[in-house]
Amino acid sequence: MNARAGRFAARTVRVKAPGKVNVSLDVGPLRPDGYHSVASVYLAVSLYEEVAATSTETPGITVSISPDSTLDLDGVDIPLDGNNLAYKAAAIMADVSEHATGVHLEITKRVPVAGGMGGGSADAAATLLACDALWNSGLSREELAHLAAELGADVPFSLLGGTAVGLGLGDELSPALAKAQTDWVLVAADYGLSTPEVFRTLDRLRDAEGLVAAEPAGVDPKILQALRSGDAEALSRVLVNDLQRASIELAPDLRSTLGMGESLGAIAGIVSGSGPTVALLAHSPTAAESLAEDLLHHGLTAWAVHGPVPGARIISDTLL
């Protein structure tokens, strides 16, 4: 910027983006390209990541983790370089934006890291939206969704939010008009699971049993019906996650977390995505709150949440 144009004016755009629970997750066989086709119902829940993107006079992308993060991040591996999904999202946006500047991304982590809730994906979705606003890129939601899919299968959903059916790698999304609220308690583990390793474990378990999985045909309409009516009892009967047995194989304590949740009053429980976060279904917001309290008393980290909630959205835009 030249002297006549005045001092560089930094601006901060802050965006929040939700984590997700897979209410159902059917996983097909290993494909020749190394991926698996899935059929899943995604539910965006009220546990949010936040990204504050600040324009900088110095070119380039920097990343930091906010001290306001509510997770215990001691010993947790979050890359701050080009391997961070938020960094990758900013780099992709810089490529397509005429007026890109340098940017600093400060991430407030609330979604468990490597927890199966798409926390890194939420950071990427939030960063896409923040940089789009910061650099006046003017991309449509479709264009942003396209970039999101390049970053990872779960990124488009964090942008979209709500309830959606995901096919293909999970990134071919159809929004589902299921707006009734369901209440959940999320139980975090103090370790993470690698998503690729959980998929590999599922393949190994299936091979050992001589089981050939079918290509997922679609999702059970009963799941969408239950989500449309907010009928938690009906939903509890159709929750399904093909990855759950693989997550439990790698982390057997998940079985006792699920058992404890149910013995303390959850209607049903399911491992979220590749885990190890467990999602427990509750009858009401108050039932979720008291279940979370009980779990806390048993020494577990638990949060009462609800879904569906909207996808990534701007919460402030400030000239500094």
Q: How many residues does the chain have?
A: 320
Question: Would you say 85 or 260 has its CB closer to ligand ATP?
Answer: 85
Helices 85-96 and 119-134: crossing angle in degrees, nearest 10, is 30
Instruction: Determine if 119 is a binding residue for ligand ATP (CB under 6 A).
Output: yes
Instruction: Determine if 108 is a binding residue for ligand ATP (CB under 6 A).
Output: no
Q: In the complex, what is the shortest distance from the CB of residue 63 to ligand ATP, in angstroms, rounded to a whole number?
A: 8
Give the contact letters, 241-280, x = binds to ligand ATP (CB under 6 A), - = no.
--------------------------------xx------
Assess whether 26 carries a catalytic annotation.
no
Q: Which of 154, 171, 183, 242 is catalytic?
A: 154
Instruction: Give the CA radius of gyration of the chain.
Output: 20
The count of chain residues that interact with ligand ATP, using the rule CB under 6 A, is 23
Rounded to 5 degrees, what are φ and ψ at 177?
A: -85, 65
Can you tell me the distance from the alpha carbon of 234 to that of 72, in angstroms, rounded to the nearest whole number?
Answer: 35
Residue 287: Cβ within 10 Å count: 18
Give the contact letters, 32-71, x = binds to ligand ATP (CB under 6 A), - = no.
----------------------------------------
Can you tell me the distance from the alpha carbon of 311 to that of 157, in angstroms, rounded to the nearest whole number?
Answer: 7
Question: Would you say 172 or 262 has its CB closer to ligand ATP?
Answer: 172
Selected binder of ligand ATP within 118, 156, 261, 311 (CB under 6 A) = 118
Question: Would you say 107 or 304 has its CB closer to ligand ATP?
Answer: 107
Assess whether 154 carries a catalytic annotation.
yes
Q: In the complex, what is the shortest distance from the CB of residue 230 to ligand ATP, in angstroms, rounded to a whole number?
A: 25
Instruction: Determine if 115 is a binding residue for ligand ATP (CB under 6 A).
Output: yes
Contacts with ligand ATP in 154-213 (CB under 6 A)? Answer: 154, 192, 195
Can you tell me the distance from the alpha carbon of 105 to that of 266, in angstroms, rounded to the nearest whole number?
Answer: 38
Instruction: Determine if 312 is a binding residue for ligand ATP (CB under 6 A).
Output: no
Q: Is 146 helix (H, G, I), strand (E, B) or coil?
A: helix
Instruction: Determine if 134 is a binding residue for ligand ATP (CB under 6 A).
Output: no
Question: Would you say 24 or 287 has its CB closer to ligand ATP?
Answer: 24
Residue 118: Cβ within 10 Å count: 32
Pairing label, strands 163-167, 36-56: antiparallel
- Strand residues in the chain grouped as ranges (E): 11-30, 36-56, 61-65, 102-108, 163-167, 172-175, 182-188, 240-241, 268-271, 278-282, 301-307, 313-319
Can you tell me the distance from the alpha carbon of 206 to that of 36, in angstroms, rounded to the nearest whole number?
Answer: 13
Q: How far is CA 275 from the centre of its chain?
A: 11
Q: Which stretch binds ligand ATP (CB under 6 A): 6-14, 24-32, 79-87, 303-311?
A: 79-87
Q: Which stretch binds ligand ATP (CB under 6 A): 119-127, 139-147, 228-236, 293-301?
A: 119-127
Host H or E run for residue 230 = none
Q: Is 278 helix (H, G, I), strand (E, B) or coil?
A: strand
Q: Which stretch binds ligand ATP (CB under 6 A): 91-99, 112-120, 173-181, 214-222?
A: 112-120
Residues that bind ligand ATP (CB under 6 A): 77-79, 83-86, 107, 113-121, 123, 154, 192, 195, 273-274
- For the annotated catalytic residues, the residue numbers are 20, 154
